[in-house]
Amino acid sequence: MRFAEIIGNDDTIADLRAMVDSDKIPHAMLISGPSGLGKMMAARAFISYLNCENRIDGDSCGVCPACRRIDAGNNPDIHYVYPVIKKTAGKPAFSTDFIDQWKLFIKDSPYMDTTKWPVMIEAGTKRPVIYVDEADAISAKAALSTYADRYKVFVIWLPERMNPEASNKLLKLIEEPYDDTLFIFVSNNPELLLPTVASRLRSLRMNPQPENTIVSALLKVGVSESSARQAARMAEGIPGKAFESLSGNGESAEFHRYFMDCMRNAYARKIDELKKTAETLSAFSREKAIRFLEYLARMTRENFIANLSISPLNNMTPDEESFSTRFAPFIHSGNVEKIVAETETAKRDISRNANAKLVWFDFLLRLMLHLRSPKN
C-alpha cells in the first residue's frame, strides 16, 4: 500500500510521512474518522514507508521485498488485531484464528467495510469484539524481539470494540512501551476509547473529502466521467462509499432488493409474502437491521422528493431510480412521515432486543396500511 493510493486527507498523510522522514515516530498513535475514508490504508502505507528499502518521492516503492512482504501480509513483525467471535463458548478467541479471512478482507475491502467483516468470519448475530485474551497475546508478542525489522508494529482495528479489561491491559503496554514497539489504533469511534488510553495516543484525524477530490481520483483509475460524478455525489465525501456504489454489489444493492420486496408485497397486500420477508429480515444482526431501517427511511424520503419532482439531482443509484419511476407516486405527503416514523419505532424496538420476527412483521403490516392511505 502506498500513500499515493489514499484519496485526499493530504495533511494527515504529510504528518505520517514526516514522522518517518524525521525519525520521530510515536510509540502509539490513533488514526480516526468515519468509516470508508481509507484509515487502514493510511496505516498500511505508513508501515510500508517505514520499512521500504527504496523510498521514492516521499512514498514507498511498492515493489521491493519489504513492500511485497507487507502487502502479502507475510511480515512476522507486523501484527493485526481485530474484533472476532468465539467459535467455541468458553474458549479464548484470537485475531490469529481468523488470519486467512483477514488477509482476504484487507485485500478485497481496503476501505474496511465493517458490514462485510462479520460475514467473512461467519459471526451470524454475534457481535465481534476484541477479547481480553487478545491483550495478553499482544503483551507476550511485545516482549519478544523483532525478527528482521526495526519495529514490531501492532495495528489495532476498531479498538473501540475492546472491553475495559482488555483496554487496561493494553494501557500498561502503552504507558511503558518497549523501544521497538509501535501501536497504531485505527478507529471509527474514538470517543468510545477509554480516556486513559486515548490521552496517550498521538491523534491523527481523517475527514470526508470534497466531491471534486473524489471525482478526480475516480477518473484517474479509469471510471467514466458520468459514473464518477454520480458515485461521488452519493458518496457524501466518503471514498469507500463511492467505490461501493460503483461495484454495485455492496450492502446498498442488497438493501435495495429487500426494499423493493417490502414495498411491492406491502402494496399488493400479500400477507404470506410479508411474513416470509419478516422471517428473512429477522436473521439480520441488530446493527444490520438498524442500517436497513435507515436505508428504508432514506429511500422513502427520496421517493417522496422524486414524486414532487422538485429536485433533478436525487441521491439514487440507477437501479433505485428505475424502481422509483414506478414507485414514487405511492409516497406522498399523506404517508411519507408516517412511514419514516414507523422505521424509527422499529429501530427502537430492535435496539431493545424485542423479538425481531414480530417487530418486522408488525412494521410491514403498518407499511401496508400507510401505502394505501389517502393523499392529504
Residues that bind Zn ion (CB under 5 A): 52, 60-61, 64, 67
Give the C-alpha separation, 356 to 346, whole Å.
9
Q: Which of 302, 290, 305, 299 is closest to 344 using CA atoms?
A: 290
Residue 67 CB, shortest distance to Zn ion, in Å, is 3
Residue keyed to cell 404517508: 335
In terms of CB distance, is 7 or 52 closer to Zn ion?
A: 52
* Grid coordinates given for 229: 460524478
Pairing of strands 181-187, 152-157: parallel
Give the C-alpha separation, 39 to 187, whole Å.
8
Q: What does the chain come to in residues? A: 376
- 3-class DSSP assignment, residue 154: strand
Residue 49 CB, shortest distance to Zn ion, in Å, is 8
Torsion of CA 131, 132, 135, 137, to 10 degrees: -90
Whether 154 and 142 have beta carbons less than 8 Å apart is answered as yes
- 3-class DSSP assignment, residue 316: coil
163 backbone dihedrals φ, ψ, rounded to 5°: -80, 165
Residue 146 CB, shortest distance to Zn ion, in Å, is 18
Torsion of CA 97, 100, 105, 110, to 10 degrees: 100
Distances (CA, A) of 169 to 65, 151, 215, 365: 35, 21, 44, 49
In terms of CB distance, is 61 or 137 closer to Zn ion?
A: 61
Residue 22 CB, shortest distance to Zn ion, in Å, is 19
Residue 48 CB, shortest distance to Zn ion, in Å, is 7
- 3-class DSSP assignment, residue 14: helix
In terms of CB distance, is 1 or 299 closer to Zn ion?
A: 1
Residue 215 CB, shortest distance to Zn ion, in Å, is 30
In terms of CB distance, is 2 or 39 closer to Zn ion?
A: 2
Q: Give me the residues paired with residue 81 across strands.
A: 156
In terms of CB distance, is 53 or 344 closer to Zn ion?
A: 53
In terms of CB distance, is 21 or 100 closer to Zn ion?
A: 21
In terms of CB distance, is 67 or 153 closer to Zn ion?
A: 67
In terms of CB distance, is 74 or 163 closer to Zn ion?
A: 74
Q: Indicate the helix (H) or strand (E) that contains 10.
A: helix 10-21
Distance of CA 296 to the CA centre of its chain: 19
In terms of CB distance, is 55 or 241 closer to Zn ion?
A: 55
Give the C-alpha separation, 194 to 201, whole Å.
11
Residue 42 CB, shortest distance to Zn ion, in Å, is 17
Residue 212 CB, shortest distance to Zn ion, in Å, is 31
Q: Which of 5, 2, 13 is closest to 206 using CA atoms?
A: 13
Residue 224 CB, shortest distance to Zn ion, in Å, is 32
